[in-house]
Structure 1
Amino acid sequence: MNATTGGETPFVHAGIAFGCDYNPEQWSPEVWREDVELMRQAGVDLVAVNIFGWSQLQRGPGEFDFADLDTVIELLHGAGIRINLGTGTASAPPWLSHAHPEILPVVADGTTRYPGGRQAWCPSSPVFREHALALVDAVAERYGSHPAIALWHVSNELGCHNALCYDEASAAAFRSWLQRRYITIDALNAAWGTSFWSQRYGDWAEILPPLLTLSSRNPMQTIDFHRFSSDELLDYYRGEVTAIRRHSSVPVTTNFMVTAHIRNLDYWSWAPEMDVIANDHYLDHRLGEPVTELSFAADLTRGLSGGAPWLLMESATSAVNWQPYNIAKEPGEFTRNSLSHVARGADGICFFQWRASVQGSEKFHSAMLPHAGTDSAVWREVVELGSILNRLGEVAGSRVVADVALVFSWESWWAFDGESRPSQGVDYLQQVHASYGALRDLGLTVDIVAPGASLEGYRLVVVPALYMVSDAQATVVNEHIAQGGHALVTFFSGIADEDDRVRLGGYPGAFRDALGVRVEEFVPLPPEVRVTLDSGESARLWGERLSTTTASVVSRFSEGALAGIPAFTRNEHGAGVAWYLATVLEADALRELFGRVASEAGVVPFSDAAGHDVEVVRRVAEGRSYAFVINHSHSAIEVQVSGRELITGADAVGSVTVPAGAVRVVRQESAS
C-alpha cells in the first residue's frame, strides 16, 4: 500500500524504531562483534547496511563477493536487530568510471565532474543503469527472502549532488521527455515562449539542456529541465524497485532530503511510489531559525506521507561536517530534536552513523558511538534516547491533528527563484519559512499540502509566495474560500501558470477575484530600506501598487512612494474570508497578523503554553491522544494537561512540569 493512499503505512515493526547507518566495511570483523553488542545495549533495533557497499561487493565486472556482508547480516540477525538493506548503488566503484568515463556527470558549464567524492554518475547514463541494476538484482536475489530484512533502501539521498546532469545522454533523455510532454514542437514553442529572443525551435534535435549562457536563460527551459531531472531520477528509482521485486516483497523506500538546502526533486510526485516515506534531516545552522526549519521539514515529510507515520532515516547526534561552522549540540538537544520528529509523525528515529569514521570526508561528522567511545556524553544520551523511544512505543501508528494547511510547491520554488525576477532580496523558501514560523510560534500545528490537494476540514489555509500555480490548483483554494474557508495569501502568489506564463489583467492573477484586490506593479524595496505601516509595523523588501476591488483595507503603507497604498487586506468571498499580505513584516508583527487571521478562522492552539520556545503537538489514535511538550527554553515550564506521562512514568494531574531543554509526553485516554 502506498504511503499516500490514506491507509496504514507498512512499517518495519511495532513501536518506535531506533536505528542507524552502519558501515562495517570501514572496520575489522572484531569491531563488528563489539558493535552489535553495543547496539543491543543502546536499544538499536533497525540498522541500515550496504549503503555504500558497491566497491566491497564487486571488485570488477561480474565479480561478486558477499562473504563480509553475509557475516554482518547474520551478526545483526542473531542479535534480533532488523535490517534496512541498501542496494549499494549510491556511488559507483572506481573500476566502473575508469572503464566507462561516459557515466560521469556534466554540470551546467559543460565540464565533467570526476570520481573521488560520491554520486559521480549521470542519472541518464544507460551504462551506469545497466551495471547498477545488475548489482541490485544480485543483492536482492541473495537476501530477498532473508528474515532479518525489514526494509529495502534504494541508493542513498538520490539527487543530492547529481540531480541535474547536462551531458549528451541527459540531453537525449530530456528531448524524449519533452516529446512525451508536448507531443509537437509547436506546443513546446508555445509553452516555452520561444518567440522571445529568437529562440523558436524547428526540430527536437535542436534542443539542449539549459547550459550556462552569456545572458539569462529561458525560464521555462530551466523549469522543465528541473521537472525532467526529478522524473529521470524517479524512473531510475523505479528500475531498482523492479529489480528488488523479482526477489522480495519487503517494503521499499529511499531517503528523501526534505531540508532547506536541497530543492531539485519534486517529492510530491515521488511520494506515491514509496512503501514508506523516509527522510534525512540535519539542523542547518546557516539558517536564522534551524529548530523552526526542523519542525517544518517534519511536517512536510508527514504531508508527503499523507498523514501516515514516516521514518527519520538519518539525523545527527551532534555536529555535522559540511557546514561552514559545525555546531555541536548541547546536552539534551539531540534527544529534543529526535522527539520533535516523533511528535510530528515519525515512527522511527535513525542516525548517520553508528560509529564515527576515522578516515574519509565525514570523519568529523558526529555518530552514535563517537571517537571518544562509550565514556562520553553523546553515548550516554544515545542510550537514554533508546530507552525513551522504547517507553513511547504505544505512540506508534497514531497521527498528528492539524486545523491549518500550508500550500508548498517544489515547482513554485524553482520558478520563484529563477534568474530574472523582481528582487533577489526575497526567495521562495524564505517566505514559506516565515509563514510557517509565525504559525508555529502561535502554537498551531500545520499540515503541509501540495497545490491542488484537498483542503477539506482545514479551518485556515496559508498560501505563501505561490508564484507558479495552475488554474486547477488555484481553483481548489478559491473554492475552499467560497465554501466557507479562511485563507491567507502572501505577495507574488498566483502570478504565472504552469508554463510560467504571466496572467494578464493585474496581479495576483489566479487569486485576484477571491482576494478582492488588483496589483498594477511590484515595488521591491532595497534591503536597507524600511517603511512604516499606519498600524505601526515596519515593512521591508517588497511593496505593490495595489488597489482594492471588493476587499477592505486592514493596514496601509504610511510613508514613501507607497504612502496610502494598501499593504494588508481582508475580503469576504462567498461564505469565506480571504486575506492578502503585500509586503514582508518582521517576525513579531507577522505573528500578530497570523494570530488575528487564525482567531477569526476559529483556530486555537492546543495549549496556551506553546510558543517560540515551547512546542505542544498532539498525536491521536482511537481512544487516546498523546500531547508532546518540547521545551527548547532554559527554564522549566508548566503545561495544563492531565494523563499519564510516558517518559517519567508519573501521572500528570492538572498539569505537567517540563524541565529546561526536556520533553514530556502525556497520554490522555480519550481524544477530542
Structure 2
Amino acid sequence: MRNAQNFKWDGLSLGTCYYPEHWDQNLWREDLQRMKENGIFTIRIGEFAWSKIEPREGEFTFGFFDSFLDVAEEEGMKVIFGTPTATPPAWLTRKYPEVLNCRLDGTPFRHGMRRHYNYNSPVYQKLCAVIVEKAAEHYGQRPCIVGWQIDNEMNCEVDVFYSESDTAAFRIFLKEKYQTLDALNQAWGTVFWNQTYTEWEEIYVPRPTVHDSTNPHQVLDYTRFVSESAVRFCRLQSDIIRKYKKPQDFITTNGMFGNLDNHKMQDECLDVYTYDSYPNFAYCLCEDPKHSDDLNDRKWSRNLAEVRSICPHFGIMEQQSGANGWNTRMEAPAPKPGQMMLWAMQSIAHGADYVSFFRWRTAVMGTEIYWHGILDYDNRDNRKLSELNRIWKRTEAINEMAGAKYQAAFGLVRDYDNIWDAQLDAWHMRFAKKSEKEIFTASQINHTPMDMVYLLEGTDVEELLAYPVLIYPHPLILTERRAEVLKQYVEAGGCLILGCRTGQKDETGKCVMQPMPGLLLPLTQTDVKEYTFVGPADDAVYMEWEDKQVETGLFNDILAVTGPDARVLAKYSSNYYEGRPALVETAWGKGKVLHFGGTFTRDNVKEFLDHTGVLKPFEELAEVPKACETAMRVKEGRKYLFVLNYDKEPQKIVLKVPVMDMDTKDEVQGSVMLNAYGTKVYRIF
C-alpha cells in the first residue's frame, strides 16, 4: 500500500503565481489587494530568484523577500515559497562549470535559460543544500508562508543528463544494482554486437552511436537512474525544509514530467502534489492542426487522471489563464470567453482542491513575454480578470465538496517499466500510445470515467479491488510481483482485460523464451501462437463478437486456448488468420480475465465496457452529448455531478432526476442548455 497523502486543503481555494522581483515595489500592495478583490488569497513566489538571496557565493541577503513578505502579511495573503534551484546564478555556473548538464555529445548547456544543471554534480548538490537551508531557516517561521515548492517542474525542458557527473553517478547506481560486471553483462545482453564490459570505467551514460542506435537494456536502466537522481535531488531539499518549516505547512513540487517516478517522489519527498495545467497546448500553432476526434483541450483530463493516481486530492500550481508562448517557440491562442472557467472546473472535477493561475501579470521582459497571465502588460482590468471573479464565485458555491473523491467506473493500468520501455522500443510505442489514447477517448465520449492505476512496488490487491474492471493494455514487461497481484485481483472478483504482447519481456527488457502471455499464462489459459502488425496494405482486421464485427486495431496476437476454464468469445474474421481466436475469457476464482489479441480502439473499448457492465454509470441521472465531459465527486454520501461543455456551440443536457444547481441552489430537472464552453455542477439528492 502506498503512503497516505499528508496534506489536504480544507476548502476549495484559488491562487496565482507572482514574481515580486519582476515589478516595482510600489505595485506590490496594489497587486495583492486586486488579487483579494477577485478571489485570490494564495500566491507562489521565489522559484527563480536565487540571486535575490545569494547574489554572490556565501553572501546572503534576506531583505528583498522580507520586505515583500511584510506586505503579504499586512494584506493577509498566504504564500507558497519556491526553492530557487531551477535557475542557478551566473556566478555559480561560471565558477563551477561541472554543474552544467550536457547534450548527448557532451557539449554543456550554458547559462541563460533554466534547468541547465544536472542533479548529480556533488558541487551543485552542496550549493543547493546551502541555499535551501538558508532560505528555509530564515523564512520558515513567517506567518504568511503556508507551503514550500521544491525547484520548478522537475525534468521539464530536459529529462536526460549526459554530464561527467552523471556518468560517475550512473556507475555507482549500476554497482549497487548488479554488484558484479558479470551480472550487468548478463542483464544488458552485452554479448550482442560485442558490447561486453570488463571494467566499470568502460560504462558511460548513453553517447552518440551509429544511426543513434542504443542498447535498449542499458537505456532502460539509464532511465531508471535518471528518475532516481531526480527523486534524490528532491529528497535532499525536502529533508532540509522539514527541519525549519511550521508543522502545518506543506511541501510540494509542480509536475508532471517524463523519466521520473512521480509516485515515488510524492511518497518519499512531498506532502501533496501539484500539477501545471495548460489545456490550450492542444491548439499550439507549432504542432499539426488538431482534429475533432483528438478531443483537443479535453485531452488534459487524461493528464489530470494521472495526477490523481499520484495524489488523489492534488493542487494546480499553474492553471491556464492566457495565451502561451515564448519568443522562440510555442504559439498558443488566448482562452476564449468561458474557457478559463471551463479549464478550472476541469481541474476541480478531477480532484484539484487548489487552483493557482499562471500568472498574475504578463512579463514585460524575458523569454516568456508571450506567456500571458490574468493581466496584460497594460495592467488594466480585462475580461480574464472578470472571469476569474466568476470562477471565485463558483468555487464558493461548490466549496462544500472540497475533499470529495473522484468516482471512476474502471481503471487503466500502467507501470513505469512499460512506460519507459515504450519510449525506446518503437514497436512497443506504436501500439501502447495508440491504445492508451483510444481507451481514454472511449471513456470520454461514452461518459464512463476512468482512473489511472499504477502498479508500484507496494501496490496491493485491496487497491485494485476498488475497480470492478481494469484494462492493462500492453504489459510487455511483466514481473513476478505484478503477475501475482493481478492473479489475486481476479481471484477476489475483479475483471482484468489484457491486450496484445502481454508478457513478452522480463524486467531487463529482454524477450523471454516462453509462450506469451508469459507469467500470466496460468491465469489466462491462453497461448500466443503467432503475431503481426496489421500492415499498411492490409484492410482493417475485425473479430466477430456477439454477432458484431469489431475492429482489432493495428497489431494482432493469434491466440489459442490451453486450459479448461477458458472460452473463445470472438474469432478473427479477416486476414490470413481468419477463424482463429482473437478474444478469450477465462474464469478464475470469483473473477475473470479477458485476453484480447489486438490493440484498443474507441469502438472495441466501448464493447469491452458494455460486456463488463460498467458502461455509462451516470446515464440514469443525465443524458449528455458527446461534446461534454461528465465527472462525479463523492463526499460523505453526497454526490456532485460535473458537466463540462468543450464545444464552441451550446449543448443540451437532460437531467432525468431532480438535482440541485450548485450555483443557484435551485432544484432543476429536464432540459438544460449549456452555453459555449459552459459548465455546471449539480448535487444529487
Compute the TM-score of the two structures, normalised by the length of structure 1.
0.91
SS at 2:471's partner residue? strand
Change (3 A) 1:540 1:10: closer
**5+ residue gaps in structure 2?**
none
Change (3 A) 1:97 1:223: same
1:610 and 1:602 map into 2 onto residues whose CA distance is 14
Report whether the alignment pairs 1:96 with 2:70: no
1:623 and 1:531 map into 2 onto residues whose CA distance is 46
Give yes or no for contact 1:155–1:254 (8 Å, CA) kept in 2.
no
Report whether the alignment pairs 1:467 with 2:473: no
Change (3 A) 1:161 1:632: closer
SS at 1:604's partner residue? coil
Change (3 A) 1:649 1:81: farther
Partner residue in 1 for 2:262: 267
Give yes or no for contact 2:16–2:43 (8 Å, CA) kept in 1.
yes
Partner residue in 2 for 1:437: 441
2:449 and 2:237 map into 1 onto residues whose CA distance is 36
Once the 2 structures are TM-superposed, how far is the Cα of residue 656 of structure 1 from its aligned partner?
6.2
Partner residue in 2 for 1:341: 347
Compute the TM-score of the two structures, normalised by the length of structure 2.
0.90
Give yes or no for contact 2:72–2:78 (8 Å, CA) kept in 1.
yes
Report whether the alignment pairs 1:42 with 2:56: no
Report whether the alignment pairs 1:629 with 2:643: yes
2:416 and 2:314 map into 1 onto residues whose CA distance is 20
Name which of 401, 404, 417 aligns with 2:410: 404
Partner residue in 2 for 1:648: 664
1:466 and 1:352 map into 2 onto residues whose CA distance is 37
Change (3 A) 1:639 1:410: farther
User: What does the per-residue CA deviation read over 1:234-274, in whole Å, with 9 as the maximum and x for residues that have no partner?
Assistant: 1111111122122213544343433xxx4211112212121
Partner residue in 2 for 1:147: 143
Report whether the alignment pairs 1:223 with 2:213: no
**5+ residue gaps in structure 1?**
none
Name which of 555, 575, 579 aligns with 1:564: 579
Name which of 526, 529, 544 aligns with 2:557: 544
Give yes or no for contact 1:527–1:540 (8 Å, CA) kept in 2.
no
Give yes or no for contact 1:442–1:610 (8 Å, CA) kept in 2.
no
SS at 1:152's partner residue? strand
Letter in 2 for 1:479: Q
Give yes or no for contact 2:146–2:250 (8 Å, CA) kept in 1.
no
Partner residue in 1 for 2:198: 202
Give yes or no for contact 2:642–2:682 (8 Å, CA) kept in 1.
yes
Change (3 A) 1:282 1:528: farther
1:337 and 1:641 map into 2 onto residues whose CA distance is 27
Letter in 1 for 2:576: A
Change (3 A) 1:247 1:91: same
SS at 2:112's partner residue? coil
Once the 2 structures are TM-superposed, how far is the Cα of residue 660 of structure 1 from its aligned partner?
4.1
Give yes or no for contact 2:48–2:85 (8 Å, CA) kept in 1.
yes
1:376 and 1:465 map into 2 onto residues whose CA distance is 48
SS at 1:225's partner residue? helix
SS at 1:417's partner residue? helix
Partner residue in 2 for 1:244: 241
1:366 and 1:428 map into 2 onto residues whose CA distance is 35
Partner residue in 1 for 2:49: 53
Once the 2 structures are TM-superposed, how far is the Cα of residue 461 of structure 1 from its aligned partner?
0.8
Letter in 2 for 1:638: V
Report whether the alignment pairs 1:135 with 2:131: yes
Once the 2 structures are TM-superposed, how far is the Cα of residue 348 of structure 1 from its aligned partner?
0.5
Report whether the alignment pairs 1:509 with 2:518: yes
Letter in 2 for 1:257: G
Report whether the alignment pairs 1:596 with 2:610: yes
Report whether the alignment pairs 1:233 with 2:194: no
User: What does the per-residue CA deviation read over 1:342-365, in whole Å, with 9 as the maximum and x for residues that have no partner?
Assistant: 111111011221111112221111
User: What does the per-residue CA deviation read over 1:431-473, in whole Å, with 9 as the maximum and x for residues that have no partner?
Assistant: 2222122123322222222115231232111112222231211
Once the 2 structures are TM-superposed, how far is the Cα of residue 564 of structure 1 from its aligned partner?
3.0
Report whether the alignment pairs 1:302 with 2:297: no
Question: How many equivalent residue pairs?
Answer: 656
Partner residue in 2 for 1:616: 630
2:493 and 2:244 map into 1 onto residues whose CA distance is 51
Letter in 1 for 2:305: D
Change (3 A) 1:222 1:615: same
1:252 and 1:349 map into 2 onto residues whose CA distance is 16
Q: Structure 1 residues 546-555 or 375-384, which shifts more?
A: 546-555
Partner residue in 2 for 1:362: 368
Letter in 1 for 2:507: E
Partner residue in 1 for 2:527: 518
Report whether the alignment pairs 1:393 with 2:399: yes
SS at 2:40's partner residue? coil
2:77 and 2:434 map into 1 onto residues whose CA distance is 41
2:641 and 2:605 map into 1 onto residues whose CA distance is 23
Give yes or no for contact 1:87–1:153 (8 Å, CA) kept in 2.
yes
Letter in 2 for 1:624: R
2:27 and 2:530 map into 1 onto residues whose CA distance is 66
Q: Structure 1 residues 390-399 or 38-47, which shifts more?
A: 390-399
1:427 and 1:235 map into 2 onto residues whose CA distance is 33
SS at 2:424's partner residue? coil
1:264 and 1:571 map into 2 onto residues whose CA distance is 36
Partner residue in 2 for 1:172: 168
Give yes or no for contact 1:570–1:580 (8 Å, CA) kept in 2.
yes
User: What does the per-residue CA deviation read over 1:359-415, in whole Å, with 9 as the maximum and x for residues that have no partner?
Assistant: 222111121223354442222112211221222222112222334222112321110
What RMSD in Å do the two structures reach over aligned CA positions? Answer: 2.5
